[in-house]
Amino acid sequence: MTPETPASPSPRTRRAGGRAARVAARAAPLAEEIRPIRPGMEGGRYRPLTEGDVQRIHEAALQALEVIGLADAPLSGIEAMCAAGAVLGDDGRLRFPRALVEDMLAIAARDITLHGRDPRHDLFLSGTRVHYGTAGAAVHVVDPFTGDYRESTARDLFDAARLAEHLDNVHFFQRPMVARDIADNFEMDLNTIYACVAGTKKHIGTSFSDPSHVAGCMELIHLIAGGEEAWRARPFISNSNCFVVPPMKFATDSCIAMEHCIRAGMPVLLLSAGQAGATAPAPIATAIVQAVAECLAGVVYVNTIAPGHPAVFGTWPFVSDLRTGAMSGGSAEQALLTAGCAQMHHFYGLPGGAAAGISDSKLPDMQAGWEQGITNVMAGLAGLNMVYEAVGMHASLLGFCLESLVLGDDILGQCIRAVRGIDVTDEAVSIEVMRQVCLEGPGHYLGAEQTLRLMQREYVYPRIGNRMSPKEWEEAGRPQLLEQARARKEAILAQAQSLIPPDLDRQIRARWNIRV
């Protein structure tokens, strides 16, 4: 029996129809189509912006692109966008006429699929379908028992990927931390890709520290995929690209890297990460305006390079604690920003992503719980397609915690259940079961066929969260949340092997310096 396998029924079970057998049957994994929660459940019921608000933000973003424009585009980007109708001013800023933006929106990719190496992990980004996953560039790993922060390594990244592979409610794995033990930046980019792919077959996101690294990393990716043709048919890695430096400037090197990725057939995340009150305006609405304007410029950029190329509209405005200027990723303002951005994605009909689940707490404590829960559930209820940084992130993105990643799987399970909402069907609202229980039965629903049938198909149960009574908890030895999370983490890592076949692994290691 592996550490993650449920225990078999007691050998004292005397008949197949006994209680133990029924309990075991109900505990068995459900078929995908009848699970109560799964990737891509449809949200969108929560809308912090009115239709008029959305239109005003859209108009303000178009005005910002026409009047202010963006600076510092690379020459290749300037040539492509000006050929399509952008205007380069004497001040070096590239401005975008309304008609150009509308033309590029008309040909931009919609209803895209982000592939996993295993097709069952494919993510269909359409409408208000919601997917939760990791992201970030934490430079520390957090030990929740000692409170110590140490520099993150390539091995930590591999471990996080292996955990994500086994956590049902973590739907994709974008690199959440930096391999600080690798000094050479090209080797770091290579090892980042290797560690992620070796750990999970879910869709992966990565970044490139230098445009010149893309070609060499694509050689590794083609080898893993089984050739360039196989890669282009099912690209299982996307480029998380900070193509802008807010406010309203292109990040020149990142833009060049993005061009390389587009030509290599890699989907891109157009990531605008201004900080309200610092690199973005302090009003929540105007912070959304700037993020939308910057990402619309990204839509123009991508579609002048390759019309219809898959891109995620990545409005990621963050929040400042205006008393200190420090980031406040777990705040209610952050939750509102992210939900508002989701509405703008739906307005344009584009696949969208933003950040939620960030905790400003240094450890997985009560503060972390409320910050992760509130921001993640609001993002999901708003119908955000890709909820990045949803689990594991602490200290306002500076620290990543493996135990928190495991605990976050429980949080996301409850968030996804909230996204699913209430099923109001003829069967669900029928009073026939009520009639039977009240007039013919025992006066309760505990043993009703409907209750037993729905207990797994409609209700979600935490893996780590504790619902025991105080007496049961005492008899069980007072299990503690963090201890349970560490036990599950260690159980998963004990059984989760590298997902790169040995022969391929030897080829890779013979060619590149792999540190994992």
| 87-113 tens-digit pLDDT | 999 999 999 999 999 999 999 999 999
Q: How confident is the model at residue 1, as a pLDDT? A: 40
Q: How confident is the model at residue 20, as a pLDDT? A: 62
For all residues of the chain together, what is the average pLDDT? Answer: 94
- With a cut of 50, list the residues of the chain below it in pLDDT: 1-16
The residue written with tokens 């970044």 in the block is: 207
Sign of CA dihedral 325, 387, 139, 399: positive
User: What tokens does 217 get?
Assistant: 């990393």
User: What tokens does 405 get?
Assistant: 């990643």
CA distance 337 to 378: 10
Identify whether the C-beta of residue 73 lies closer than 8 Å to the C-beta of residue 81: yes
User: Can you list the positions of beta strands (E) in 75-125?
Assistant: 87-88, 94-95, 112-114, 123-125
CA distance 197 to 203: 9
Identify whether the C-beta of residue 144 lies closer than 8 Å to the C-beta of residue 482: yes
CA distance 329 to 395: 9
Say what percent of the chain tops pLDDT 70.
Answer: 94
Q: How confident is the model at residue 326, as a pLDDT? A: 87
Residue 266 neighbours by CB under 8 Å, 6+ apart: 218, 235, 237, 238, 239
CA distances from 14 to 11, 22, 143, 447 (A): 8, 12, 46, 21
Sign of CA dihedral 137, 142, 148, 150: negative
Own/partner pairs, 21-28, CB within 8 angstroms, 24+ separation: 26/452, 26/455, 26/456
Q: How many CB atoms lie within 10 A of CB 91?
A: 8
Identify whether the C-beta of residue 114 lies closer than 8 Å to the C-beta of residue 122: yes
Closest to 210 (Cα-Cα) out of 268, 175, 257: 257
The phi, psi pair for 297, rounded to 5°, reads -60, -35
Summarised one tens digit per residue, pLDDT across range 232-267 is 999 999 999 999 999 999 999 999 999 999 999 999
Closest to 291 (Cα-Cα) out of 78, 94, 61: 61
CA distance 251 to 244: 5
CA distances from 313 to 89, 240, 269, 371 (A): 26, 11, 7, 24
Instruction: Determine if the peptide bond prior to 29 is cis (ω within 30°).
Output: no
CA distance 187 to 169: 31
Which stretches within 349-425 are classed as H helix?
366-381, 402-420
Identify whether the C-beta of residue 204 lies closer than 8 Å to the C-beta of residue 123: no
* Domains assigned to the chain: 105-420 (3.20.20.480)
DSSP string for residues in 233-294: HS--EEEEE--B-SSSBB-HHHHHHHHHHHHTT--EEEEE--EETTTB-SSHHHHHHHHHHH
On the CB side of 135, CA atoms within 13 Å amount to: 29
The phi, psi pair for 221, rounded to 5°, reads -65, -45
pTM for this entry = 0.93
